[in-house]
Amino acid sequence: MNILAAIKREERKLEKQLGKLQKQLEGVQAAGKALGNSADRELSGIKKRVLSEAGRAKIAKAAKKRWAKVRAHAKKAMK
């Protein structure tokens, strides 16, 4: 089998795949242009949720309490 011929076949196959992907990309870009800036507004409109220090402290305290309970049960199981 000729290695050069196999490489050429693979090259043609990849070029066909590239052509298909470029057409898909063009379609997606056209859809983006049709939507205009509405997609950008949706993404920028989402705000990060902020938790207060007091809220974080309550969550941390509850987590420590849960872990203390788990450790206590594990300690009893060891005995």
Q: Apex CA 28: angle with CA 9 and CA 39, to 5°? A: 155
Q: pTM for the full model?
A: 0.41
Q: Break the chain into its structural domains and give their ranges.
A: 1-47, 49-79
d(CA 76, CA 8): 71
pLDDT tens string 17-41:
999 999 999 998 888 888 876 655 5
The conformation of residue 37, written as its DSSP 8-state character, comes to: T
Average model confidence (pLDDT) across the chain: 87
What letter represents residue 74's amino acid?
A
b/e for 12-30, b at 16 or more Cβ within 10 A?
Answer: eeeeeeeeeeeeeeeeeee
pLDDT tens string 53-65:
999 999 999 999 9
pLDDT of the residue at 78: 81
